[in-house]
Chains A and B, each alone.
Chain A
C-alpha cells in the first residue's frame, strides 16, 4: 500500500485549497456604495415574471446605477436551504420568502437586520407584517383560497366542498410542510374547536377523512395547472396566484373566497447576512415597500399591500386578501409556532394522513 502517504498528502493539499477559497471577507454594511448589481432570490414562475415587470423594471428606471438580478427558487424552504449552503460566501443580497421560513433564517443568522435609516418605509408597514429586531418585514399579504375548475358548479362556498364524495380522486392539497396543507389543517382544527398551540389532532382527524378524495398531495407542476387542465376539480391554493390564473385561463380556473375563516400568508423581504452590496440591497428593499411599488404589484397580481399608505384601486383591492368585506375572517396564526412544529406536524401527516 504505497499509495497511502501520497493520498494523504493530496487530501491535505485539497483541504488547504478549499479552506483558502471559503475564507470570505465580510462587507461593511455602512459605507458600501449604493450601486452595482444585486441578486434577489424569490419564487420562480409567475411570481418572478410579474415581480420583474411591475417592481424590478420601474426600480431600475428610478435607480439606473443599481442592476437587479432575480434568481428563482421553487419554494421558501429551498430558498433558505440554498442561502444556508452558500453562507460562507453569499452570492445573494435579498431574499423573499414565507415568514415561517424567514424566521428560521433570522434565528440562524442567514439574514441580518435592516437599517431603519436606509429603509424608512419600514415604519409604514402594517403591524401584522412587522418583524421584531428590524429583520425583513412583510412585502406581500395573501390568503388561502379554494381553486375550482369550471366543471364545478355551483361555486363552492365552504372548505367542506373538498370532502364532497362527488370529487373523489379530484382534490389537490399540497401537504405539510407546505403551508397550504398546514393552513387547511389549522383552519379545520379551529373549526372543530381545537387550539393549534396545544394540539392539531382535530385538524388531522378531519384531513384523514379527506385523504380518499385527494388525487395528489404533491401536485406537479402545481395545483393551478392541474385545476386549469381539469385533471383536478378542486384544490387549495393562494389567492394572488389564483386570481392571476383565473384571468389568464379565461375562467377555466376559478377562485372561491369561502365564507369561512382562512389564513394569512406573509412573504417577507430579507437582507442576507454578509450580502455583497448591502446598501444597494436596502435601497431595493425600501423601494419594494414603498406605496408606489406595493400598488403596482397589487394591480398586477393581487397580492395585498403591506404598506398602510399604499392605495391600490378599489377593483384590485377587492380581489386581494385585504378585501375590506372579508378581513374579519382571518384566523390568527403565530408563524413562529408553526415553524417550531414543522417537523412534528410533518411526521403526523405522513403517518396519519398520507398513508391512509
Chain B
C-alpha cells in the first residue's frame, strides 16, 4: 500500500470519527441497554426484576393478540405508503413540470408542513374530522349524511392523518427522483406513437421508481414507528406495535416487554430494508 493511499485512508477515518462517536453514544449504547432490558422480567405492578429470561419474547410470540397487532401494523405501513404515493405523485410531477414563476414557492409550500410538529398537525385533524368539525358539518350541511360520520377515534382517522403527515416526505423523495429523467424521452415515445397513458406507464413511472422506492421505504418506516398520531386519533380503540411500546413503557411500566417489542419492530424494519435493497438492485440492473 502506498503512503499516499494510507494517508488518504487516515483522513477518511479521521473525518468519520466524530460521526461514529456520536452514533456510538446516541444509538449503539441505548440499543445495547434496551437489549439488556428486554431480557429482564417485568411484573404487572411495573416492578423490574434483573435477570436473564426470554419471557417477554415468549409472551409476544405465544399470544395471537400480538401477532394480529404486528399484522395490523404492517398493513397500516403498506396502506399509508400506497395512499401517500397515490396522492403525492401527481403533486410532485406537477412541481417538477410547472414553468410557473412561483415554482420555488409552490415547492416550499408542499414541504412546509414539515416545519410544524406532527403533534400539532394531528390535533388539526382531530378538529377537522371531529363530529363538529368542518368535514362533518359540510357533509351534513349539504344533506349528504344526517349523522356525523365517525372519522376520528378509529382506524379511518389514523390513515387520513398519517397520509397527510407523510406526504411532504414522499414529495421530497419523488422530486429528487424525478430529477433523473428528461422529458425528451417522453417526446420520443409520443413521436413513436405511444399515447399519454402508455408513455406514463412505460417511460415516466419506471424512470421514477428509484424515487418512489426511497419514498416508500421512508414513509413505511416512519409510519410503523409513529405512535403520536395513532394514539391521539385512535381513540384508544386501535393498537399498533409503536403505541404498544409507548403504553408498556409509560402506562403499564413493563419496560422489559416494551424493550422486547421494540426489538421485534426493529426486526420488521430489517426485513423491509432488505426487500427495498433487493428491489432497488433489480431496478438498477434493468
Contact = CB atoms under 8 A, between A and B. Distances in A.
A231 interface: yes
Contacts of B231: 218
Interface in B17-36: 17, 20-21, 24-25, 28-29
Contacts of B150: 169
A343 B252 contact: yes
A351 B65 contact: yes
Contacts, number: 98
B21 A175 contact: no
Given A215-B235, A354-B236, A104 B250 contact: no
B235 A230 contact: no
A61 interface: no
Interface residues of B, number: 36
B226 interface: no
Contacts of B239: 350
Contact of B250 (A3, A77, A103): A77
A216 B46 CA distance: 26
Interface of B: 9, 13, 17, 20-21, 24-25, 28-29, 44-48, 65, 123, 126, 130-132, 150, 153, 231-232, 234-237, 239, 247, 249-254
A70 B48 CA distance: 28
A26 interface: no
B45 A339 contact: yes
A342 B130 contact: no
Q: Chain A's interface: helix, strand, loop or mixed, by majority?
A: helix
B21 A14 contact: yes
A215 B151 CA distance: 11
Interface of A: 2-3, 6-7, 10-11, 13-15, 17-18, 75, 77-78, 80-81, 84, 101, 103-104, 107-108, 169, 174-175, 177-178, 215-218, 220, 229-231, 339-344, 346-347, 350-351, 354-355
Given A10-B17, A220-B126, A350-B239, A78 B250 contact: yes
A74 B29 CA distance: 28
Nearest to A211: B237
Given A15-B29, A175-B236, A350 B65 contact: yes
B46 A342 contact: yes
A218 B130 contact: no
Contacts of B29: 14-15, 18
Contact of B251 (A77, A103, A220): A77
Closest 9 CB pairs between A and B? A218-B236, A217-B236, A343-B44, A216-B235, A14-B24, A104-B46, A216-B153, A339-B45, A104-B45
B252 A7 contact: no
Given A3-B13, A78-B250, A350-B65, A107 B235 contact: no
Contact of A10 (B20, B65, B126): B20
Given A218-B234, A218-B235, A18 B25 contact: yes
Contacts of A220: 123, 126, 232
A14 B32 CA distance: 13
Given A11-B28, A75-B251, A218-B231, 9 more contacts: A2-B9, A10-B24, A77-B251, A80-B46, A107-B45, A216-B236, A340-B44, A342-B46, A346-B247
